[in-house]
Chain A
Amino acid sequence: MTTTPAAQPKIAVRGVGKRFGDFTALGEVDLDLVANEFVTIVGPSGCGKSTLLNILAGLEEPTSGEALVDGVPVDGPSPERGVIFQQYALFPWLTVRANVEFGLRTARVPKQERRRRVDHYLELVGLSAFADKLPKTLSGGMKQRCAIARAYAADPAILLMDEPFGAVDALTRVRLQEQLLETWSQERRTVLFITHDVDEAVFLANRVVVMASGPGRIQEIVDVDLPYPRTEQVRLSPEFTALRNRVWGAVYHQGPPPASR
């Protein structure tokens, strides 16, 4: 990472807290992401991961502190910050192509250009043959790839992904992870990726943020200095295992008994 003193973080989370009534979902969170960094967040369920991501997306407002993107406070959603939801959130009445095109239409991209970009991203996620199908005909993995293409097509500088591969089977998940990294290496973006899968967190990231609950806070940040491209060899290397064990320990041996998971 280039950390010249002048470099402004792409994303800056400054003392962000969130309360729902008198329940504190997020205590006080501070986190910086450098441009083009791939950061994953792991933590037990209910520790406020989605809340943090939604605040960055502009879908929720923090009750204290602020989230800055390029130094500007987040105020509502913006196509510059793409979001990929766990439950795909494809528009079921639109074809795969029309789903991917959605953000381009709201941005009033001319038709020719739209078509070109949609084709490009469908190709990238391997869904060209399914362009005119409705989402209901796709498998879970394909739906998620469509959602990824839809987010990418809007050309956001930042991608926020909330347990995107949580609902697909293990094999598909590995493929999607590899594909995601490949896409990220071709078209660099700043990625914040939430998962509850420790292996996934380590495999993808430059840095793993481990969160703890009661109230939601950052427990530890682990640097992953493994080389990209992350191949199967990386996944099987002792360095990977060591990092994985370290993150595992931070996630599952924190505070209150693990039974509350």
Chain B
Amino acid sequence: MPDHPDTVLTPSASAAGVAITPTSASARPRGRRRRRPLTRAGSLGLNVLSAVAGILIWWTLAKVGFNLPTPAAVAKQAGHLLADGTLEQDAMASLRRVLIGFCLGCAVAVPVGFLMGWYPVARALIEPWVQFFRTIPPLALIPLAVVLFGIDETPKIIVIFLAAFLACVIAAFQGVVSIDRTLINAARVLGAGDLTIFRRVVIPASMPYILVGMRIGLGSSWATVVAAELIAAQEGLGHRMQSAELYYDLPTIFVGIITIGILGLLMDRVLLMAERRLTVWQERR
């Protein structure tokens, strides 16, 4: 994300998520043929091919003596950890923290963002704090949170809450200030009062922004939880990797990394699907 605080979010632009736009890859010099879009099956095939190739390279590197576990060893370790329940337990612990912190963060961020967007006084009061905390990576607050709240769940959830809140509050605010004035006027001349305008215009109009903010917030929460667990936790994926480090248990570390990646990706997809559902009405370019 670029760092202009007031122009961070344009839902349509970020709808593509992290995908690298194909145009930037078209380095072919003055190709006369128009590049044809891939079919769905074609691109899926290439995705699978790429994954397989990556695993093969990994395997080769492990075999030729880099200090890496082989994919087979990692798979075996994953089997063990699943069988004795530790992987599920760790994943659940991490997910629980993320979901609690994230949901609380969004639940507070949306009304606060609306307040900021709607009332200039609220904006003037709240914005300095939001802008200030935005410049601090949530992780940097962990030492403080641990000292203040100990090493149980509270400090982690607070830090995740902040991560989600900051991403989401800006989005909600941005959503409200970019509402087309004529839509609000159209509602007013049709007899809508403030409450109706809020429910039937402000909320739907800012929904695309909020959903983008939620996706960013979820990514940020997930990154934060794992890091927080590396620092202080008794369970969770980050904690598991941290203790594996003490025993040079590389397969476990790999299992942890891969699980984090997969779960992060799944959560992002779920939100992306929700976003598509809830914003079908948008004109996409």
Contacts and interface: CB of A to CB of B under 8 A. Distances in A.
Interface centre among A81, A83, A91, A154 (most CB of B within 10 A): A91
A43 B146 CA distance: 69
Interface string B178-214: 0010110111111111001000110011010000000
B195 to A, nearest CB: 10
Interface stretch (A13-21, A102-110, A227-235): A102-110
Given A83-B185, A85-B185, A93-B205, A103 B281 contact: no
Given A91-B201, A91-B204, A134-B281, A103 B190 contact: yes
A79 B282 contact: no
Nearest to B278: A93
B6 interface: no
B280 A134 contact: yes
A57 B189 CA distance: 7
Interface centre among A77, A82, A150 (most CB of B within 10 A): A77
Contacts of B84: none
A83 B189 contact: yes
B3 interface: no
A258 to B, nearest CB: 30
Given A79-B191, A103-B191, A134-B281, A89 B186 contact: yes
A59 interface: yes
A237 interface: no
Contact of A92 (B185, B188, B189, B282): B282
Interface residues of A, number: 27
Interface in A76-90: 76-79, 81-83, 85, 87, 89-90
Contacts of A58: 189
Contact of B191 (A90, A91, A106): A106
A85 B190 contact: no
A149 to B, nearest CB: 12
A111 interface: no
Contacts of A120: none
Interface in A92-118: 92-94, 102-103, 106-107
B189 A91 contact: no
Given A59-B185, A106-B196, A92 B190 contact: no
Contacts of B186: 83, 85, 89-91
Task: Identify the 8 closest CB pairs spanning chains A and B, nearest first.
Answer: A79-B191, A103-B190, A89-B186, A106-B191, A93-B281, A83-B189, A93-B204, A89-B182
Interface of A: 57-59, 76-79, 81-83, 85, 87, 89-94, 102-103, 106-107, 134-136, 150, 154
19 contacts: A59-B185, A59-B188, A59-B189, A76-B188, A77-B189, A77-B191, A78-B191, A79-B191, A85-B182, A89-B180, A91-B200, A93-B281, A102-B192, A102-B200, A106-B190, A106-B191, A134-B281, A136-B282, A150-B190
